[in-house]
Structure 1
Amino acid sequence: MRKIIYLSTLIVLTQLNALAQKETAWWHFGFNSGFNFNSLSNVTASDGTIVTDMPESISGPLYTEEGCFTLSTYDGQLLMSSDGRTVYDRNGNVMTNGTGLLGGSSATQSGIVVPKPGSLTQYYIITVPQALAAGGVCYSVADLSLNGGLGEITSKNNVILSGTVYENIAAVPNTNGKDYWLIHRTAQTFYVWAITSAGISATPHQTITSSLITTVTSSYVGEIIVSPDYTKLVTCTWAGYQIISSDFNPATGLISDIKVQSFPLYPFGGSFSSNNKYIYVASGYNGSARAYVNTWDNLRAGVAFTALSNGITNLRRGMDNRLYGTSALASAKPTKNIYVVLNPDDGGTNIKYFPDYLKGTGYLGLPTFAAGFIRIIPKEQPFACTAHNRTYSVEVDLSGGNAPSQLVWNFGDGTPNITQTVNSTQSKYSQVHSYPNSGIYTITITPYKGDGTTIDDITMQANIVNCTLKSNRMTRSELLNSKQQ
C-alpha cells in the first residue's frame, strides 16, 4: 500500500535518510575495487582484533585513481557507477550511449548522480573535468526504464557552468522534500544551482565569493564535504593548505559565513561524522598521507586539526556510519590496504588497519554521493508475474480539506482507464490488474477534485516478469519484489 497525503494540493514525500539509507550500499572505486554493504562478515584487523559487520570486498568496473561515483536503490540494489567519463550499468557493462562524458577520472570528484525530481526512472549525472580541462560542469541524463532496466544515457554533456572549473561537486536535498541543490567551487567563488522537476537552473541560484580563500597553482584539487544534516560545508584547497568552511541553509539554498583555516599538509578529502560533530580530512598523497580530525565548533573557532593516523589517503562514511579509508605507499603507489575508523562520532581514536583487503587496489578516490536522497517509497512494491492478477493500492488522506472526488487509474499498457469514486468514509483504494506481457510499466493515478481540476499525479512502477519459480504467487512476490531484479 502506498500512502499519499494531500495538504494544500501538495504530495508530501518521504526523505530516505530516515528510512532505508541504502543508496550508498555499493561502492566502486580505484582500480577494479569496491565494497558491498549488503553483504557483511567478521574480519580480523592487523592487530588481531575481530571487527564485526565489515562490507564484502568486491571487484568493480572502474579503473580510476581519483574521481568516481556510484548509486544504488533505496533498498540497496546497484544502479550504476562511473569514473566521470564512462557510465556502467548494474551488471558492470557500459551503459548504452554511456561513453564520452566530460568528467575526468583524475578529478578529485569527477561527478555525482542525483535522482531527477518528479521522475522514478531518470537521473542527472553531473560531471567535472580534471585539472582545469575544457568542458565545464555538465550534466547528462540516464533513463533506467530503458533496455530492460539497465538504462541508457539519453542526453549528454549539457553545460551548467562553462569555462574554468575546479575538481569538486556536491548535491544536497532541499528541505521541501522534492528538490536538490547542486554546489561547486572555483577558486574563491561558490555556485549553487536548483535542481527541480523543471530541470537544473540555467543561472546559479547563488554566487558567493570570499577573498579569504588563497588561490595558488593546483588549488583546483580538493573535495566538497557536506554534513549529514545538510547545514555545514567543508571544501579542501590542496596546494593552498586550506580548509574552507561555511554554513548552508538547505531550505533557501544559500551559503553564508565563509571561514578559512590552515591545514598542516595537503588537504584532499574526507567526511563528517554521522552526529555532525567531527570533520575528518585526509591529506592525500605526495608521500604524506595522513588523517586529521577537528570538531566543527573548533574548526569554526580557528583551532588546529589533530593528527590521527599516517597512511590514509582519503576517508568516506559508509552506511554503517564508520569511516573507510584508502591507503597508498609513500611513493604514491595504490595498495589493497584499507583503514576503518570505528568510532567517528567520538573523535576517531579507534582505527583499524586491514592489509590486502581490496580485490583490486585503491588510491585517492572514493565514491562521491549526494548528501541525502529524496524518494517516493511504495509500502507495497508492485511486483507481479505475467498473466497473474495483482492488487495495486494507494491511501488518500481525507483530512486535508482538499480531498479528491475520484481517482483515474492508467496502467501504462494501453488498457482503458478505470475511474474510481472517492467517498468520505474510505481512505484506502485499490485496483486489480493483470499484465499479459513482461516489462516495466508506469501506473499513473490522477486525482480529480469536485470542480473537475486535477491534483498532482500519483505514479508507481510495476515490474512484470515471466516467473519460473514453482510456488504460490505470494512466495514469488516475497522473493522477487523489486523492479530492479
Structure 2
Amino acid sequence: MKKRILFWIIFLMMLPISMQAQGESSWWYFGNNAGLNFNDPQKVTSSNGLITSGIPKAVNGPLKSLGGGFTLSDIQGNLLMSSDGITIYNRKNEIMTNGTGLLGSIISMQSGIVIPAPNNPKKFYVVTVSSQENVSHGIRYSVVNIDPSNPNDMGSVEVATKNSLLKMPHCGENLGVVAHKNGTDYWLVNRTGVFFYVWHLTEQGFSKTPKMYKTPPLPDVDKGAQIGATIVSVDNTKLVNLAAGSYTILSADFNPATGVISDIRGLGNTKIYSLGGAFSPKGEYFYLGAGNESVESGYKIKYSDLRAGNVMPTALDAKVFNFSLGRDGRVYGITRTISSGAADGNRDLHVVMDPDKGGTDIRTFPGYLTNRPQRGFPSFKHSNIITENKTKLFTCEGYEAKFDINLITNGIIVPTGLFWDFGDGTYEMQNFIAGKYDYEMNHLFANSGLYKVSVMPYIGTKGLSKTFLEANIIDCSLKTNPMIRHELLNINELETNK
C-alpha cells in the first residue's frame, strides 16, 4: 500500500500542477486600515470565555474606505493587490503603477471587485462602481497585468483600458461575480433600479450589451434602493440583492451556464435597512446585517423562507452591521457605530461558527481588529471549495487520529479525490463522491507530537489549494486508561474550544 501511495505522490509531482481559486480570499482589507489574514489562524478567547481556534489574524491594511473594496490573493494565499475603488495597492501595500484615479467610490457598498481574465493567468479585470452621490462615473473596468508566480512583480494598470465604460450613467452600488459553468468565463452582475444587468466575460473581454432581467416593483427605487450588496452563493446558483432603502430583500435563481436570472422574488416590508450579508456555505441560510448605525442585532433567514416570502428574518444575538463568508466556511461580522456625529465603528469581530446550522453559535471578540472597520467587507469571487475542520483536538499515542472535514464545492469544478499529507512522511488518497459533504480519514502516528496535516482536493493531476489541520498526539499512559483519557480530553476541550 505504501509503495502505491508513493507512486501517486511522485506522479503528481512530475506533472504540471495548476491550482484553482481557493486562496483568493486569504487577505481581507477594509474600513480604516483594518484587515484579516486567514493564512495565520489564531487561538482567541471570545467574550463568553470560549477559546476558539482558527480565527484569522488581525492586521493593518492600506485602505481607508467607508464602503467596500476588494482584496485579491494568489492561489496559495499570497497577497496580490487591494483597492477601495479609487486606488489600487500592490503586494507591498504600496500604490500600484498607474493605480490611482479609478472611478469607483469609497462610500459605495461594493465599490470594486476583481475578476481573473479567462485563459490568461497574468491578467485581471478590476471593475468599479460609482456612488449615488456621483452617478456620472457609472460602472467601469481597468485591466491589471501581474504575474502571480513572480513575487517581484508588483503589477501595473494598463493605460489603454483604464476606466473603460460598461454602463452609464446611473447604477446601483453593487457588483457580483459568478463563475461560468465552463470553468473559464465569468458573469458580472449589477442591479440598478428594477433591472438586473448581466455581462459575459470571455477571453475577448466583456460583452458589449448586457442581458437585462426585471425585478418586482421596489419602493424608493431611485434613491435608497440603489445601495445594498449583491451576493452569490458558493454553488453559483442563488443570488441575493439587498435593496436597503426599499426595505426589501431580492432573491433569484442564477444559471451559471447561460447567465440567466430567473424567478426573481422580493421579500418586502422587512423594516431592516440592510446593506450587506452572506450565504452560508451550503446556501441554506442567509445572514444580513442591520445597516443602521444604531443597529441592535444582525439577522438570519432560511433561504427557503426567503423564497417563500412569508417569514421575516430573525434577530441574532450579535450586534452586526455587515456579514461576509470566509474561506474557512465561517461567516464574519463587523459592527459600525456613531460617535460624536462621526462614523468610527468599533473594533469587535463577530464569528458565526455554524452558519449552515442557523447561527446557534456566534462568538464575539471585543476589540480584536487593529483598526475600525466602517461599513463594508471586501468583495470576492468566492472560492470554489470551502472546507470546515471538525477534527478532534487530541489523540492518545497508540490510537488512530480521526480527521473529519466538511467539503463544499460549487458544482463547476468537481474534485476527483483528496490527497492527505499527515506531516509524518506518510500520505493517503481518498476518492471524492459527488454530493457528499462529510469526509473522514483515520491515521496512526508512530510517535507523540504536534503534526501539521494537510488535505488537498485534486482533479486528475491538477492540485487545488490545501486545507491545514493539526494532530496533537500525546502520551496518555501515565494519566489514566488511554481510551478514557482520549475521550475526556476531547470532550472537555471541545466544550470550550470548538
TM over 0.5: yes
Q: Deviations over 1:393-437 (max 9, x none)?
A: xxxxxxxxxxxxxxxxxxxxxxxxxxxxxxxxxxxxxxxxxxxxx
TM-score (norm 1): 0.72
Tell me by how many angstroms 1:296 deviates: 1.1
Partner residue, 1:232: 238
Distance verdict in 2 for CA 1:279–1:147, change over 3 Å: closer
Q: CA deviation at 1:132?
A: 4.9
Go from structure 1 to structure 2 and tell me whether the alpha carbon gap of 1:137 and 1:289 turns closer, same or farther (over 3 Å shift): farther
Q: Deviations over 1:256-313 (max 9, x none)?
A: 0010002232011110000111111111224125311111111111121111134211
Letter in 1 for 2:246: G
Gaps of 5+ in 2: 1-12, 385-411, 416-498
Tell me which residue corresponds to 2:28: 27
Aligned position for 1:16: 20
Q: Which moved more, 1:95-104 or 1:258-267?
A: 258-267
* CA gap 1:45/1:37 in 2 versus in 1, 3 angstroms: same
Answer whether contact 1:173 1:371 (CA < 8 A) is retained: no
Q: Secondary structure at the match of 2:209?
A: coil
The answer to whether residue 329 in structure 2 is matched with residue 318 in structure 1 is no
The structure-2 alpha-carbon separation of the partners of 1:207 and 1:39, relative to structure 1 and needing over 3 Å to count, comes to same
Q: Distance in 2 between matches of 1:365 and 1:243?
A: 18
2:286 to 255, 279, 285: 279
1:330 Cα deviation after fit: 5.1
Aligned match of 1:213: 218
Q: Which residue of 2 aligns with 1:138?
A: 140
Is 1:189 the equivalent of 2:195? Answer: yes
> Which of residues 305, 322, 336 is equivalent to 1:328?
336
Equivalent residue, structure 1, for 2:168: 162
Partner residue of 2:116?
115
Q: Quote the offset at 1:74 in angstroms.
A: 1.0
Q: For residues 335 and 286 of structure 1, do their structure 2 counterparts lie closer, same or farther at Cα, with a shift above 3 Å needed?
A: closer
Please give the secondary structure, in 1, of the residue aligned with 2:246: coil
- 1:89-147, Cα deviation, whole Å (9 max, x unpaired): 01000000000000101001001000011111110000001115121100000001499
Paired positions, count: 364
TM-superposed deviation, 1:336: 1.2
1:472-483 equivalence runs, <5 A = none
Match of 1:290 among 297, 309, 312: 297
Is the 2:216–2:265 contact (alpha carbons within 8 Å) kept by the matching residues of 1? no
Per-residue CA deviation, residues 349-383 of structure 1 (Å, 9 max, x unaligned), is 211111110111112110100134699x9xxxxxx
Q: In the alignment, which of 326, 337, 360 is matched to residue 349 of structure 1?
A: 360
SS in 2 for 1:101: coil
Equivalent-residue separation in structure 2 for 1:371 and 1:226 (angstroms)? 8
What is the CA-CA distance between 1:82 and the residue it aligns to? 0.3
Contact 2:79 2:91 in 1 (8 A): yes
Looking at structure 2, the residues matched to 318 and 231 of structure 1 have their Cα atoms a distance apart, in angstroms, of 19
Superposed CA deviations along residues 196-246 of structure 1, whole A, max 9, x for unmatched, are: 100011111x11112433325321110001111000000001111000000
For residues 15 and 183 of structure 2, the distance between their equivalents in structure 1, rounded to whole angstroms, comes to 15
> Distance in 2 between the 1:82 and 1:216 partners?
27
1:333 CA drift (Å): 3.0
SS of equivalent to 2:61: coil
2:126 match: 125
Larger deviation: 363-372 or 83-92? 363-372
Identical counterparts, % of pairs: 40
1:322 Cα offset (Å): 0.7
Amino acid at match of 1:191: Y
* Structure number having the greater helix percentage: 2
Paired residues for 1:360-375 under 5 Å? 360-372=371-383
Question: Do the aligned partners of 1:139 and 1:157 also contact (CA within 8 Å) in 2?
Answer: yes
Q: Partner letter of residue 335 of structure 2?
A: S
Residue 255 of structure 1: aligned partner: 261
Deviation at 1:72?
A: 0.5
d(CA) in 2 for partners of 1:264, 1:345: 25
Could you tell me which of 151, 165, 178 is aligned with 1:172?
178
Letter in 2 for 1:138: R
* Match of residue 487 from structure 2: none
TM-score normalized by the length of structure 2: 0.70
- Unaligned residue ranges in structure 1 (runs of 5+): 5-12, 378-485
What is the CA–CA distance in structure 1 between the aligned matches of 2:216 and 2:278, rounded to whole Å? 25
1:47 equivalent to 2:52? Answer: no
**Corresponding residue for 2:3?**
none
User: 1:127, 1:164 → 2: CA distance?
Assistant: 13
Helix, strand or coil: the match of 2:306?
A: helix
CA distance, structure 2, for counterparts of residue 15 and residue 178 of structure 1: 13
1:75-90 equivalence runs, <5 A: 75-90=76-91
CA distance in 1, matches of 2:351, 2:293: 22
Counterpart in the other structure of 1:299: 306
- Which amino acid in the other structure matches residue 287 of structure 2? Y
CA distance in 2, matches of 1:350, 1:147: 39
CA distance in 2, matches of 1:211, 1:36: 39
| Cα deviation code 1:161-211 (max 9, x no counterpart) | 11101100011100101100000000100000000100011111x111124
CA distance in 1, matches of 2:48, 2:230: 33
Residue 266 of structure 1 aligns with which residue?
Answer: 273
Q: 1:2 to 1:293 in 2, by over 3 A?
A: farther
Contact kept? 1:170, 1:371, Cα under 8 Å: no
Q: Which residue of 1 aligns with 2:39?
A: 38
What secondary structure is seen at the aligned counterpart in 2 of 1:290? coil
SS in 1 for 2:164: strand
The Cα of 1:2 is off from its aligned counterpart by: 7.6
Instruction: Measure how far apart 1:16 and its partner are.
Output: 2.9
Following TM superposition, by how much is the alpha carbon of 1:33 offset from its aligned partner in structure 2, in angstroms? Answer: 0.7
Which letter maps to 1:322?
R
Shift in CA distance, 117/330, structure 1 to aligned 2, threshold 3 Å: same
Q: Is the 8 A contact 2:330 2:352 kept in 1?
A: yes
The answer on whether the counterparts of 1:236 and 1:267 sit within 8 Å (CA) in structure 2 is yes
Q: Distance in 2 between matches of 1:257 and 1:181?
A: 18
Which residue identity does 1:168 align to in structure 2?
Answer: N
Distance 2:206 2:255 in 1: 19
1:309 corresponds to which of 282, 307, 317: 317
Q: Is the 8 A contact 1:313 1:363 kept in 2?
A: no
Deviations 1:320-363 (A, max 9, x none): 11111111225453111111111101001211111110111112
Are residues 1:359 and 2:370 paired? Answer: yes
Distance 2:18 2:213 in 1: 31
- Aligned equivalents of 2:68 and 2:374: distance in 1? 10
Q: Letter of the 2:356 partner, please give it.
A: D
